[in-house]
Chains A and B, each alone.
Chain A
Amino acid sequence: MSDTDRELRVSKIRNGTVIDHLAAGQALNVLALLGIDGSGGEGVSVGMNVPSDKLAKKDIVKVEDRELSQSEVDVLSVISPEATINIVREYEVIEKKRIERPEYVEDVLSCPNRNCITNAEEPIRTRFMVLDDGLRCDYCGEIVREDEVPSRLDVS
């Protein structure tokens, strides 16, 4: 029995998304990214520091009845480039997506520069260019390093 089988058996979901191979420690950031704090009543299971063949340790997040938007997938690719997204229907993985780093991520992070126009009450969305090791605000040029990305998640 593989690790994956064992995990799925622990908390198999009927319909939804399994985000696997997350870098250890990123599970809570992913929940924040998805705007999940439990108050919405979603079925969620989280595995942290699970042994993995691919990574020494990994996190895993399973969310019932929820698919990810493209911008959510984009940010996921920045905080955890090795992650995989499995879409589950009727208990079966029907699609396994590998995520790719996009050129830009839109509308999911806030700019750390408090004086940036995106932090004023203007009718615009944030937009960050994806660099090798971080993100860059397309408006003010501020750089957000990879390890700072989780704290900039705009989960309003």
Chain B
Amino acid sequence: MRQDHLISATQLSRADIEAVLDRAAEIDADPSAWQGRHDGSILGLCFFEPSTRTRMSFDTAMKRLGGRTIDMGAVESSSVKKGETLADTMRVLEGYADALVLRHPSEGSAKMATEFVDVPLVNAGDGAGQHPTQTLLDLYTMRQNAGLDDVTVGIMGDLKYGRTVHSLASALTNFDIRQHFISPESLRLPRSVRYDLHESGAQVREHTGLGEVLGELDILYVTRIQRERFPDENEYLKVAGEYQISAEDLSAAKDSLTIMHPLPRVDEIASDVDETDHAKYFQQAHNGVPVRMALLDMLLSEEEAQ
């Protein structure tokens, strides 16, 4: 990978993505071979909003590479609460670590942070913006189950605020993939994401109901629709059922359909789906560690080579 930072899935070429996924597969095949590869390296975990899973996944990945992590702790007790800018905080933390992971509630925060630090920085979610490492593990899971070429993918749920969806949609344009977006009218993809898809010439269609496309799909990527996104509770109740799936709803699906979800889920995938061969979301969650190991290994190796 040529970049020093990973900020957005839009910066990733097909070759970049394949390099990370190939490295992740090597790691998966023989994890012990990677132990100690980055002895003495320190990864700074800068989480300005809570995300236990993503933080633990990076923490585990770094430790499996032999490195260590430092954590700025809860935002409530830090200097951030006292009004320090993100720019200042990042400039200070840069001095402590060989690479930084940033999770922040504002869109564009990771991009801004790269203007103030020289060590590699990974965006672990910026508001409703991007979440590129989630995308890499999503792609890894897709490649394991359905491949990444000549594939039909449905992405369903809250497409407006779902940063995992925004990152994934743009990354998929690197491959021969037909994308179907399924959501209530009010939670359609934002203009900026539709613009990118259009520019890339991607094959994209939008739907309001899963039934219109279920039978064609090789992969169904489900995200949660948050009740609080609807100004009117009745509006939510009207659409909610449309975007929840149970084992019974899947009778029209291909036998080989892969169902994914970035987790945590609430009620959008009924637990009886877990027992079917379609369910791959726990495998997807496990993939977070080897994929993040691969990415950190590449960023830190580049850093050490300089």
Contacts and interface: CB of A to CB of B under 8 A. Distances in A.
B192 interface: yes
A123 B104 CA distance: 17
Contacts of A115: 105-107, 127-128
A140 interface: yes
Interface stretch (B23-31, B34-42, B108-116, B149-157): B108-116
Given A116-B106, A116-B107, A122-B86, A139 B127 contact: no
A143 B86 CA distance: 24
B85 interface: yes
A140 B7 CA distance: 11
- Tell me the dominant secondary structure on chain B's binding face: mixed
Contacts of A121: 85
Contacts, number: 56
Question: On chain A, which size bracket covers the interface?
Answer: 10 to 19
B82 interface: no
A141 B107 contact: yes
B85 A118 contact: no
A140 B108 contact: yes
B109 A141 contact: no
* Residue among A118, A123, A140, A142 facing the most chain B CB atoms (10 A cut-off): A140
Contact of B129 (A120, A138, A140): A140
Interface of B: 8, 85-87, 104-109, 111-112, 115, 126-129, 191-192, 195
Given A115-B106, A117-B104, A137-B108, 7 more contacts: A116-B107, A118-B108, A120-B106, A124-B87, A139-B112, A141-B192, A142-B107
